[in-house]
Amino acid sequence: MESDLTKARQMLANQSLTCAFVSGEMVYISKERGVKPLLDCYYEKKIPEGFSAADKVVGKAAAFLYVLLGVKELYADVMSRPALAVLQQHGIAVTYGELTDAIRNRTNTGFCPMETAVRLINDPKEALNAIEKTRIALQEAASQKEK
């Protein structure tokens, strides 16, 4: 019988997803980028604790969100070393395709703003506050560009 993590990994690879969550028969998938699907799951209680997940890219911010979501095990195509440290510190089983020092931003001109926002943080709840502040600042900056 296939494990939940195997199912999540197969969905991630075969359906052009950014992340997949599996717990038994329950499945939640997303094609949204960044930490948005994780924040949606957290605030809307879309998934139960103890699920397995597969994700394209996991930086330290996403790692904190997976901790808050209560993930049991996680696979990432690309994972940052700080993310790996957070997940291991919280007892989450981790596998990955590629381990990198840090996650780059979408334009590859610097580090991911979410990774930067939580760089010096060690507490998941504190990280959530920093992620929210950064998300709001990025949204405001994007709406200013549209004007």
The total number of structural domains that make up the chain: 1
Q: Tell me: the pLDDT tens digits for 67-124? A: 999 999 999 999 999 999 999 999 999 999 999 999 988 888 888 999 999 999 999 9
Q: Report percent pLDDT > 70 for the chain.
A: 99
Q: What is the CATH number of the domain that holds 101?
A: 3.40.140.30
pTM of the model: 0.94
Q: Report percent pLDDT > 90 for the chain.
A: 78
- Across 24-47, average pLDDT: 91
- Across 45-65, average pLDDT: 93
DSSP state of 111: B
pLDDT at 2: 81
- Across 53-73, average pLDDT: 97
Q: What is the DSSP string of 34-90?
A: TTHHHHHHHHHT-S-TT-EEEEEEE-HHHHHHHHHHT-SEEEEEEEEHHHHHHHHHT
- Structural domain containing residue 27: 4-146
